[in-house]
Amino acid sequence: MSMPSPSQPSDRTIQRALAALAIGSFCIGTSEYVIMGLLPDIARDLDVTIPQAGVLVSAYALSVAFGSPFLAIATARMDRRNAMLVLASVFILGNVLCALAPTYGLLMGARIVTALCHGAFFGIGAVVAAALVPPHKKGQAIAMMFGGLTVANVLGVPFGTALGETLNWRETFWCVAVVGLVAIVTLYRWLPRNIPVPPMQLAREARSLGHPQVILAMLISILTSASLFSVFTYITPILENVTGLSPHVVTLILFLFGVGVTCGNFLGGRLGDWKLMPSVIGILALLIPLLCLFRMTSSEALPAAITVFCWGLLAFAMVPPLQMRVVDEAREAPNLASTLNQGAFNFGNAIGAWIGGLLLTQGLSYAQLPWVGMTIAIIATLFAMLSHWLDGRAVPVTGFAHATSQER
């Protein structure tokens, strides 16, 4: 068996590094989503309404979308390993501040601090993960890192919610901060010291953002997230009011959604390595009729549960290929573009939730919301087809982790 070259990390080193990134993404995912299950307790403790407490969710998403790039720029001159350690430290600080916050305003500030590291961690982490592996395994490496985020939906969020309900919502944030310490230790010990990604060069990074394919990939990221969250934001009232399920059964179906999300993430990584843009178009082509189907299956428990599982699988199968697309197309300066794509996903979350809420206030019923998600998915498909068509017209270019148009 041949030995790895000095510039090529060993398989053991790669697996450890990806595991460390996954632990970090697990912590961030838990911190982001667990607050949804803690809103009633937070509202009661801080003497605010539940809708006011819900603004903490929107503020987090908007902070990721618009604040993370500034933190990525602030760490521009650091090597990528040190940048990841700084971001993990900001995450721990943010969760400690959440646990200590005595007022609603200070909790809002603490959530914004925590969110700042979110997009930068995933953006730079995706670049690091892709750089550690051969080109044909980039998608799987990115999926491995995002796997921590999807597992957070299955394990971290339910456990954190139960902990908060049993003890106090502050204990949940203390627990997340402790797990964050584990993440920073593993990142320090397992991330290689010579990651083959240069520090950010802002002028070159900014130029990479003007690439048409980078812009298209981010637009598709926004639309796919908006399609998901225009419906998923209101999944609990859909399942309770349209399907007629009890809160306990709704929790089980949301767990099933989380399992689908986890499976879809790893499936998407493999599909991205196989045929990137054809896979994106194919997933969207399946997502459109599935959302149509949900309009009908939402009236019965078992069909709704099966549809929700498949929906989670397809929706998150989009994430690794789209992140890989941005890293690939901005290959000469991928750090800022990758971070901004994380902002694009979160901006799509906020836009989708806003669109769904606006239409509900205008008289749309919960049962009709899947039509909204389907419409947005159709628009995303058109842009994905445009991007793939432009690939066919482009002259193949070689460079950092770049696939030719024939490979796509």
Higher-scoring residue by pLDDT: 54, 407? 54
- The rounded mean pLDDT for the chain is 86
Query: According to the model, what pLDDT value does residue 153 have?
Result: 80
Euclidean distance between CA atoms 38 and 390, whole angstroms: 45
- The percentage of the chain sitting over the pLDDT mark of 70, rounded to a whole number, equals 94
pLDDT tens profile 258-313: 899 999 999 999 998 988 999 999 999 999 999 999 999 999 999 999 999 999 99
Higher-scoring residue by pLDDT: 383, 120? 383
CB-count burial class (<10 Å; 0-12, 13-18, 19+) for 155: middle
pLDDT tens profile 323-353: 889 888 887 778 788 888 888 998 998 888 8
Work out the angle between the directed axes of helices 157-166 and 35-46 (0-180°, nearest 10). 20
> CA angle, corner 285, sides to 243 and 359, nearest 5?
45
Please say if the pLDDT value at position 202 is more than 80: no
Q: Cβ(219)–Cβ(379) under 8 Å?
A: no
Euclidean distance between CA atoms 185 and 188, whole angstroms: 5
Euclidean distance between CA atoms 334 and 400, whole angstroms: 10
Residue 114: closest CA among 196, 172, 177: 177
All residues at 6 or more sequence positions from 23 whose CB lies less than 8 Å from its CB, including other chains? 148, 179, 182, 183, 186, 187
Q: Hunting for tokens 């750090």 — which residue is that?
A: 335
pLDDT tens profile 136-173: 888 899 999 989 988 888 888 888 888 887 889 999 99
Query: According to the model, what pLDDT value does residue 18 have?
Result: 94
Query: According to the model, what pLDDT value does residue 223 have?
Result: 96
Please say if the pLDDT value at position 401 is more than 70: no
Report, as an integer, the average pLDDT of 209-216.
Answer: 87
pLDDT band at 8 (very low <50, low <70, confident <90, very high): low
Question: Would you give the distance in Å from CA 401 to the centre of its chain?
Answer: 22
Please say if the pLDDT value at position 195 is more than 60: yes
pLDDT tens profile 16-28: 999 999 999 999 9
Query: According to the model, what pLDDT value does residue 75 have?
Result: 84
Euclidean distance between CA atoms 178 and 188, whole angstroms: 16
Please say if the pLDDT value at position 90 is more than 80: yes
Domains and CATH numbers, the chain: 12-200 (1.20.1250.20), 201-393+402-408 (1.20.1250.20)
